[in-house]
Amino acid sequence: MMDILANLGGGFGIMFTPMAILLCLLGVFAGVTFGAIPGISPSMAVALLLPMTFTLEPVLGMVLLLGAYKGANYGGSVSAVLINTPGTPSAAVTAFDGYPMTKNGRVGEAMGISLYASVFGGIIGTVVLIAFAQPLARVALQFWPSEYFALTILGLTTVATMGGKNWQKALVAVVFGLLLNTIGMDPIAGTRRFTFGDMRLLDGLSLIPAIIGLFALGELFYNIEHYSKGEKFDKLAYKLPKVRYYLTVWKNIVRSGVLGTIIGIFPGAGGTIAAFISYDVEKRCSKKPEEFGKGSPEGVAAAESSNSASAGGALVPLLALGIPGSATAAVLLGSLLVHGLNPGPEMFVEEPELVYGMFASMFMANAFILLVGLVGANLFVRVTDLKKTLLYPLIFTFAIVGSYAVTSSMYSVVVCVVFGVIGWIFRRYDYPPAPVVLGIVLGSLAELSFRQALIIGGVESFYKRPLTLIMLAIAVAAVAAPIVKKRMEEKKAADSRF
């Protein structure tokens, strides 16, 4: 422990230099800006800044990139809360309650909670990263495909709470999302599936354009359908709550931060899965679960805390073993390799200044996110003052440009528009769009893990490995609990009549 503290002190010594501070602030500002633009994911934001690091010292280059990584994770929540247009995939979960809060005139609360939850969730993830990087990475490597499959099933059980009383519609939506994952190349056999001869479908449907279409264009088309001439937005009174207000959600932030970090450690899981699972856990733990999806501060806190904390978790296998835990971590790995560095256990001994300089930069990045959020939030929220005749074309333009930026092709634009129509239909007939995203995110990992487990260990791998069995049992219990509770309430109500 003393060695860790000593090395961390050296890391902060590197950070408290004018160049390091400037680069960290620049990275955070660029990350928040990119993250707020639909279609620019954290990995894309980091990749755009990567060429700037080639002439910098390795530690300074990583300071810039980590600032952008952390900033983009928060930036996605800005557009999600204000205009229901998630800037990043994981911010889609923030939109579940953040946007309803904005429509209810509580935009200050929504923006404040998303900011503070992101900052403190990021701190939790960084603390876990510093203290347990190497042992946690070894645990994650012992996961078999059966454990990954059980984790995805556990994630899919969140659909039981997304639909509320309309759980049947939520089930239809998640199955639709899972079916969409059958489009493209078979992950094991390599054969084409449902591509209809179109080469652009070989890689499947693009996730980010699909999310933008479902949430942003779906809501936009629905609002246009019900638009009345001369209609204006209600003037939103923006004011951040006092500090004591955030104490009401501190438990949600801590729980979701820890859970998000743990999920982020597993390669391939990422912030989106962490946000979905944490959101579901908080809804089940809440005393007011009926408010989730309608403007619950707890929902916003859970989504943002877990999303931000997962960034620290994703760096655990990268730094300890040289295995990137997410798409953004893969870009960071590329930056280290460009400078002739090989991440792994030896780097903690041979390059302690670099490793602990990165850790220190993550603390500083969280501080700058708080600064940028507090200073810029009043400017961000002014977008809601625009007339609908101006705001609607802007949302449509951002959606189209953001989708095009993903692959630099009109294919992504078409995907966005098609999913916008699907989102509009879902909105009209009261089908929740969130389970579709859940199915798309988890579908490919679930299929690949399931088939790999069958190839490696057969059916036995699902009930002979204790951790797999435990997670599957929890998943079954998570689905069965609300059904049993409802039956018991119905029986109690029936008995009270007699």
Q: What is the pLDDT of residues 93-132, one digit of tens each?
A: 888 888 888 888 888 888 888 889 999 998 988 888 787 7
d(CA 86, CA 38): 6
How far from 327 is each of 138, 271, 331, 431, CA to CA, in Å? Answer: 20, 11, 7, 31
Residue in 271, 346, 340 with CA at minimum distance from that of residue 302: 271
* Highest-scoring range by mean pLDDT, 219-223, 371-375, 484-488: 371-375
Instruction: Report the pLDDT value the prediction gives residue 94, as an integer from 0 to 100.
Output: 87
Q: Return mean pLDDT, the chain.
A: 79
- What percentage of the chain has pLDDT greater than the value 70? 83
Mean pLDDT across 20-42: 82
Instruction: Report the pLDDT value the prediction gives residue 215, as an integer from 0 to 100.
Output: 74
pLDDT at 47 over 80: no
d(CA 349, CA 12): 18
Instruction: Report the pLDDT value the prediction gives residue 340, as an integer from 0 to 100.
Output: 76
Tokens 């693009």 locate to 206
DSSP string computed for 61-95:
HHHHHHHHHHHHHHHHHHHHHHHS--SSTTHHHHH
Three state DSSP letters for 167-196: HHHHHHHHHHHHHHCCCEECCCCCCEECCC
Instruction: Report the pLDDT value the prediction gives residue 136, as an integer from 0 to 100.
Output: 63
Instruction: Report the pLDDT value the prediction gives residue 56, as an integer from 0 to 100.
Output: 83
d(CA 70, CA 309): 9
Mean pLDDT across 215-229: 75
The interaxial angle of helices 388-407 and 218-225, nearest 10 deg, is 150
Is the CB of residue 325 less than 8 Å from the CB of residue 266? yes
Of the chain, the end-to-end C-alpha distance in Å amounts to: 65
Instruction: Report the pLDDT value the prediction gives residue 98, as an integer from 0 to 100.
Output: 87
Identity at 299, one-letter amino acid code: G
d(CA 8, CA 12): 6
Is the CB of residue 30 less than 8 Å from the CB of residue 71? yes
Tokens 């007939």 locate to 429
For the CA atoms of 299, 239, 212, 365, the dihedral, rounded to the nearest 10 degrees, stands at: -80
pLDDT grade for 4, boundaries at 50, 70 and 90: low
Phi, psi of 193 (to 5 degrees): -135, 120
Mean pLDDT across 356-380: 84
pLDDT in tens, 443-453: 777 888 888 88
pLDDT grade for 237, boundaries at 50, 70 and 90: low
Instruction: Report the pLDDT value the prediction gives residue 368, as an integer from 0 to 100.
Output: 92
